[in-house]
Structure 1
Amino acid sequence: MEYSKSELRRSKVLELIKGRGKISVQEITEEIGCSEATARRDLDWLEKSGQIVRTIGGAIYEGTLKQQQLPSSELPFADKRFSQREDKERIAEAAAALVKEGDIVCLTGGTTTYFIARALKRHRNITIVTNAVNIASELADADDIQVVVIGGVMRAKSYELIGPLAESVIEKINITKMFLGVDGVSLEHGFTMHAELEVRIAQLLIARSSHVYAVFDQSKLEKSALFTVIPLRQASGIITNEQPEGWLKQACEEQKVAIHTERC
């Protein structure tokens, strides 16, 4: 079987990442002898194949994350959609109850925020800002809801739009309430995500938001993904499927972070 030049090149890139654990675009161009544009395209292809995790300016080998005992690698949206569904639907109802007519609501990507989008379809005269293509599609037939989609390059696993175009749009908008989907919640690392570029977009959206609510089910507790979005104290509140106990309850009380559940 003969391999194309691009296949052979990507194979070499993957071997370099495996050997080093992480790599930069500049290192790839020096080792492989290709252009930066080609190196970036190869990294994008390898990420879509599920073998690496893209970072700003480079990539990390998926196996390195497992060795560091971080949460399991990021799963595609389709694989996560029905996990903990009932819990996510309860969180969605609690989140929707916080939204009032005239609000400008931001939804980041994720399965929990997807269910929030579905719950918000009953509302009227609100604007929803999102960088997630699947959330925008879900809201396409919602009456009296204006949907603003932040442009950019789509990540296949999460359907989120990222990059300079997305960043330029965010600078021009104002948000009333933001619902932040996360991959992990811990006292030490706060609210965390797997993908660095998605973290960048989330942080810019947070800076434009009056209120920020982290949304997560109990399975995310005491887990830390690779990148911190914000520490616990910077959230206006948390929305989860049941009343927190232990360290999370204490931390929220001490740092004046509101707690919301469907039963409250």
Structure 2
Amino acid sequence: MGPSKRHRDILRLLEQDGTVAIAELARKLNVSLETVRRDIRPLAGNGSVVKMHGAVSLPSIVGEAPFEKRMRENSEAKKAIAAAVARTIRDGDSIMMDTGTTTSFLARELLGHRRLTVVTNSSDVARTLATVNDNRVYMAGGELRSDNGAAFGTTAIDFVGRFTVTHAVISTGAVNADGMMDYDLEEAEFARMVLTRGQRALVVTDHSKFGRQGLVKVAGFDAVTELATDKAPPSDIAEALRTAGAELLLA
């Protein structure tokens, strides 16, 4: 396979999966890490891709893409993570979720559960689980954002702060050795509050978020009890999890 063919394949994979780790590109293209790095240089040079620490992305999705597009990115991985987490939740449990594509997939996986108490700022999560199976759903108030239909701000944070739940679940835009990060201040502040409200504090994220550098820190690994993902994280993240005493749930 020549460089030009690999260039096309790299762009195709990025369009399909969003941000992709360089090691994952090498595996999918069946070439060495050095070959992938060499192929990425001209693509980065002409602005076709953006290089990040250990990963590469299309310029249009640096930061976060619109919610609907993010739902399509790595959807099979997110579904697998959601299914694995849903198996750890019992009928009658209470669960708090922030807005995010993986938490939206989790809400869909919970449609087989009964008598759940759900607290969320996501209209998608609330709409999915309300009025079915004797669930009780509490939706945080505030102005709903047009891109993801979620409420943020002090009103939403104060509302969820009144609850204590069995499972507090957040998704996140970036994970590195320092912990979880996001690209929006209000989303990070809301997620930080959610983590404090559960007997179990769980982060759900697919492997493409590993190694990303977000804009705002949500929390360190000492604020969570578990991280659920689809692939083993890089060694620095795995070590940080162990040091913090957080468990890893692999889908």
Q: What is the TM-score when the length of structure 1 is the normalising length?
A: 0.69
Q: What does the per-residue CA deviation read over 1:61-101, in whole Å, with 9 as the maximum and x for residues that have no partner? A: xxxxx9x9998122111111111011000000111112123
Q: What does the per-residue CA deviation read over 1:205-237, in whole Å, with 9 as the maximum and x for residues that have no partner? A: 222222111111110000021001101222100
Q: Contact 1:160–1:198 at 8 Å: present in 2 too? A: no
Structure 1 residue runs of 4 or more that deviate by more than 6 Å after TM superposition: 68-71
Q: Which residue of 2 aligns with 1:244?
A: 233
Distance 1:251 1:227 in 2: 19
Q: Contact 2:168–2:202 at 8 Å: present in 1 too? A: yes
Larger radius of gyration: 1
Instruction: Choose which of 219, 236, 247 in structure 2 pairs with 1:230.
Output: 219
Q: Please, which moves more after superposition, 153-162 or 226-235?
A: 153-162
Instruction: Choose which of 158, 167, 181 in structure 1 pairs with 2:157.
Output: 167
Q: Which residue of 1 aligns with 2:148?
A: 158
Q: Contact 1:218–1:241 at 8 Å: present in 2 too? A: yes
- Aligned-partner residue type, residue 226 of structure 2: G
Q: What does the per-residue CA deviation read over 1:108-163, in whole Å, with 9 as the maximum and x for residues that have no partner? A: 10111100000011111211111011111122353122111111111222322012
Q: Which residue of 2 aligns with 1:19?
A: none
Q: Contact 1:75–1:157 at 8 Å: present in 2 too? A: no
- Aligned-partner residue type, residue 170 of structure 1: V
Equivalences for 1:7-156 in 2 at 5 Å? 72-156=62-146
SS of aligned partner of 1:238: strand
Q: Contact 2:170–2:194 at 8 Å: present in 1 too? A: no
What is the percentage of aligned positions where both structures have the same residue? 26
Q: Please, which moves more after superposition, 118-127 or 158-167?
A: 158-167
Q: What is the TM-score when the length of structure 2 is the normalising length?
A: 0.72
Deviation at 1:256, TM superposition (A): 1.3
- Aligned-partner residue type, residue 168 of structure 2: M
Q: What does the per-residue CA deviation read over 1:18-46, in whole Å, with 9 as the maximum and x for residues that have no partner? A: xxxxxxxxxxxxxxxxxxxxxxxxxxxxx
Is the aligned partner of 1:195 residue 2:207?
no
Gap runs ≥5 in structure 2: 1-49
CA RMSD of aligned residues (A): 2.2
Distance 1:140 1:171 in 2: 21
SS of aligned partner of 1:162: coil
Distance 1:242 1:225 in 2: 20
SS of aligned partner of 1:118: helix
Name the count of aligned residue pairs.
196
Gap runs ≥5 in structure 1: 1-65
- Aligned-partner residue type, residue 149 of structure 2: Y
Q: Which residue of 2 aligns with 1:256?
A: 245
Distance 2:91 2:65 in 1: 35
Q: Contact 1:90–1:261 at 8 Å: present in 2 too? A: no
